[in-house]
Amino acid sequence: MAKLVFIGAGSLGFTRELVRDCLTFPSMRDAHFALVDIHPGRLAMSQQACQKLVDAGNYPARITATTDRRKALKDADAVMITILCGNVDVWQYDITIPKKYGVDINVGDTRGPSGIFRALRTIPEMLAICRDIERLCPNAVVLNYTNPMAMLCQAMQKTTQAHVTGLCHSVQGTAVMLASWAGVPYKEVDYVCAGINHLAWYTKFEHRRRDLYPVLREKVRTDRKIYNTEQVRNELFLAFDYYVTESSGHNSEYSWWFRKRPDLIRKYCTTGTGWNPGRHAYILNEYRARVRDWEKRFRQWLNSPEWQDPVQVAKKLARGHEYAASIVNAWLGNELFRFNGNVLNTGRMITNLPQDCCVEVPVLASRGAMNPMYVGDLPRQVVPITSLSATCETLAVEAALTGNPRLVYQAVASDPLTAAILSLAEIRDMVNAMLRQNRGHLPQFKHFTV
């Protein structure tokens, strides 16, 4: 019997999707799913949701729940992490303080001033989780879904022995989108995607050995519906010849070009960003709505009439597109699985990015092992923005590990969006304001002024 631990299991929808996926594999039909969260109410509902899946599929699995992660981690085979350090009320200042200084942020969970401060708050807790894993389940695979992905993974991989990688569904999600634009089945597409989280590039995108980029380039240039679906990413594609992962709303934050003036935000970040409108604080407001409605939405799911329809139940129990279950299945000694994961670049999988940064590259999961694959050089034209962002992330990780506020300032000062709008003196003032606001959440810092 495998034991799978979910830390941050109060993330109801995500936890039940991952549990559902795991149950579809014979190796995990009878698994022990141990759910952990600091919010007892959300934890209880997550346990109910997972038990509903087990009962509906008549699986011999066991669901337990606890607020004590050390109790859950004992002898685990796999650990999935989906946490938020500091609630939405804390997160809001990552968005509102930069806005006062003119830096308009859409999501703010990956990089830039907002992502950096989220990393500063979260890294100490992630390292504490890994220390518990080292003691209680040192052979477990650890799959992180928490953002900022690259900074958290880099900190864990540099300072602990836990078998950590980070997963982001933007890789397979974007590949599905591009295959549909090209008019080919996704399962017949062969691609190589590499870079850093949310700034990874499809260096190859083929169907039966036929390069699909000429088709995609023509579609983006001539089909207004396709162009308007992802304006930011399509502009990047037309400029740099390779397609990037993650939505246009997110990507508008990662560069100099799209959010530095109100007219550019209106043009590129309002109606042409797919699922994620690029408007200010979009995801923050979505989370606020979820916090208000989470119990109502859970009850609707739990009591849906679809549970009485065998066809609908089969759909509810079908495996989704997340990587986690397939990785755990391989780790347990079953089918090999290739995925894009976040790993240190120490083996120089990407030869023209810094050796000590965290990269997102193809990885092969097998029994008790994850083997990153060599990619080589990224195309030269995408290196400046990718390498700069990777360097900012590494500075932020060093700041979190050392408690040095000057490194925070230096990381934010080199952020492309921030630097396009503010002077160095203005950035210093903004960082000081954010340090003061986060004072109670940064135990590793002794000083809160740059």
Q: Give the active site residues.
A: 169
Instruction: Give Cα separations from 275 to 156, 234, 271, 365 (angstroms).
Output: 31, 15, 10, 30
Residues 435, 445: contact at Cβ < 8 Å? yes
136: nearest Cα among 158, 157, 161, 156: 161
DSSP state of 363: E
* Residue found under tokens 């980029």: 213
H helix or E strand, kind and range, residue 256: none
Helix 383-402 and helix 405-413: axis angle, to 10°? Answer: 170
Tally Cβ neighbours within 10 Å of residue 197: 30
What single-letter amino acid sits at 255?
S
Instruction: Give Cα separations from 217 to 186, 214, 220, 260, 346 (angstroms).
Output: 18, 5, 5, 27, 34
Cβ burial 120-154 (10 Å sphere, 16+ → b, else e) = bbbbbbbbebbebbeebbeebbbbbbbbbbbbbbb
Residues 111, 147: contact at Cβ < 8 Å? no
Residues 424, 413: contact at Cβ < 8 Å? yes
Question: For residue 314, which phi and psi values (nearest 5 degrees)?
Answer: -60, -40
Tell me the DSSP string of 16-73.
Answer: HHHHHHHHTSGGGTT-EEEEE-S-HHHHHHHHHHHHHHHHHHT---EEEEES-HHHHH
Residues 23, 29: contact at Cβ < 8 Å? yes
